[in-house]
Amino acid sequence: MARTIPDASITAMLAREEALFTQRNPKSKQLSEEAARNWLRGVPMHWMVDWGMPFPLFVAKANGVDVTDADGNAYIDFCLGDTGAMFGHSPPAVVEALRREGANGFTTMMPSADAAVVGRLLEDRFGLPVWQVTATASDANRAVIKWCRAITGRSKILVFNHCYHGAVDDTYVTIDGGTPHADPALIGEVRDLTQFTKVVEFNDVAALEEALAPGDVACVLAEPIMTNVGMVLADDGYHAKLRNITRRTGTLLAIDETHCMSSGPGGYSGEHGLEPDALVLGKPIAGGIPAAVYGFSHKVADRISSFLKTRAPGHSGIGTTLSGSKIQLALMRAVLETYFTREAFAPLIALAKKLEKGIADVIIKHSLPWHVVRAGARVEFMCTPQRPRNGGEAARLIHRPIDVALHHYLLNRGVIVTPFHNMMLICPATTGAHVERLIDGLDRCAAELLS
Ligand SMILES: Cc1ncc(COP(=O)(O)O)c(C=O)c1O
């Protein structure tokens, strides 16, 4: 029978680990005090304080999986910039492309010679033929929504409860007590988002069918599995039903692979034979330098071309100056050629399986009420016995205090997992020894929590 971890153990561990963190990181503490003078919340991006430590950890350098903080403490990084560094920090092929192309211009507002090659590589790897570049995945998702609304003439979109697609206001609608409402945490949004965004639970075919039946939804924007509220897998056959219902109702299907591109060289869609109308790839596509892309099928691209013939001249509201730049294209080419190959992914997936098995063994050894899931090179454990089937369930199940205590414990022992949930990525620089270090840390942490 699963054992219960007493709340008092979690609280005591957190207090011990916070004290240890403060003791180990005097330089970070000093830097955080100095930075507080000029940065909102003391950090260059306000959510950097949300990791949950007593003060932010300041990084001195990062290479491969190795991170060194300002105090000289060394870490093995399984967070990898929450996928931005999916191929390791400063991946060699990207550094080499930067060295080679860095002196030849970053941005010109004109296409570079790499454009044709990168377009072909994107089609080859991800199946869709027509692409555009943006600076972030958030930008790409916003653009996809706009194109879908424009060519369908429909105002609404549909997202899944507790999804995350970046800083895209239209997607911040959740279901609370059966009623959709705008996420109260959203800053500075003045529209009634529920007017234009429908929300249903992932894996709920009947709700999807009902929401799309009126034929007023331009697109469903979906991660193929949910990765931002723990990890919620798709039920067997769910994607076939999603595709069928969207086709039947004239709704476009946009798959956001920003995280799930860790599933394999063709992303989750490629691995599982999905047939999206639009696809978004972000974070690691240029090795962690700001770049994202979105792709369309021929059918959608033709509709866009027809639509553009009717458009009034002027600003389109899609596109930013630094998007599609020479340096983005050079780095994307390096990433696609070097890392988005079956050969490059095979060892990552093998090591991710080892990590999954190791965590499962720790769970069994200590009879923990936890579970572990994996998709390609991405592994996640949740401190709940049952696997959630949708975002609503997952949001209710995530047990923050224990996650925070675990993160602190591992961090103080030189292992970084992703904040806000327990996600771990394998990159080309990760070794079996690194994986064993994480499993051993978790084993010791569980033993302490239960002692
Ligand atoms: C699925 C998904 N889409 C889009 C984004 C937004 O990416 P960015 O912050 O690089 O714009 C994220 C960020 O975590 C994400 O998880």
- Tell me: pLDDT of 442 over 90: yes
User: Distance between CA atoms of 23 and 219, rounded to whole angstroms?
Assistant: 51
pLDDT at 398: 86
Give the position, in ligand 1's atom list, of the atom nearest the Cα of 223.
1
Residue 181 C-alpha to ligand 1 middle, in angstroms?
21
> Could you give the dihedral angle defined by the CA atoms of residues 299, 137, 429 and 425, in that order, rounded to the nearest 10 degrees?
-90
Q: How far apart are the first and last CA of the chain?
A: 17
Per the document, the length of the chain is 451
pLDDT at 181: 95
Q: Which of 256, 283, 322 to mutate to test the pocket of ligand 1 (most atoms within 8 A of CB)?
A: 283
- Which residue has the CA at smallest separation from atom 4 of ligand 1? 165
- Are 262 and 83 in contact, with CB atoms under 8 Å apart? yes
Mean pLDDT of the chain: 97
Per-residue model confidence as pLDDT tens digits over 380-407: 999 999 999 999 999 998 878 999 999 9
Q: Which of 223, 255, 259 to mutate to test the pocket of ligand 1 (most atoms within 8 A of CB)?
A: 259
pLDDT at 176: 86
Q: Which of 48, 82, 138 to mutate to test the pocket of ligand 1 (most atoms within 8 A of CB)?
A: 138
Give the position, in ligand 1's atom list, of the atom nearest the Cα of 140.
11
Q: H or E stretch including 334?
A: helix 326-338
Per-residue model confidence as pLDDT tens digits over 177-228: 889 999 999 999 999 999 999 999 999 999 999 999 999 999 999 999 999 9
Q: Compute the average pLDDT of residues 72-85.
A: 98
204, 148, 197: which is closest to 173 by C-alpha? 197
Handedness of CA 348, 353, 359, 361 (dihedral sign): negative
Residue 137 C-alpha to ligand 1 middle, in angstroms?
5
User: Distance between CA atoms of 382 and 377, rounded to whole angstroms?
Assistant: 17
- Tell me: pLDDT of 26 over 90: yes
Residue 239 C-alpha to ligand 1 middle, in angstroms?
21
Q: Compute the average pLDDT of residues 65-70.
A: 98
**Lowest mean pLDDT, pick from 104-118, 197-211, 273-287, 396-410:** 396-410
pLDDT at 400: 83
pLDDT at 191: 93
- Which residue has the CA at smallest separation from atom 7 of ligand 1? 137
Residue 138 C-alpha to ligand 1 middle, in angstroms?
6
Q: H or E stretch including 355?
A: helix 342-365
pLDDT at 1: 77
Per-residue model confidence as pLDDT tens digits over 298-345: 999 999 999 999 999 999 999 999 999 999 999 999 999 999 999 999
Ligand 1: lining residues by beta carbon, under 6 Å? 82, 136-138, 141, 164-166, 223, 228, 256, 258-259, 282-283
Q: Which of 133, 164, 260 to mutate to test the pocket of ligand 1 (most atoms within 8 A of CB)?
A: 164
Residue 426 C-alpha to ligand 1 middle, in angstroms?
19
pLDDT at 204: 98
Q: Is 176 helix (H, G, I), strand (E, B) or coil?
A: strand
pLDDT at 166: 98
pLDDT at 177: 85
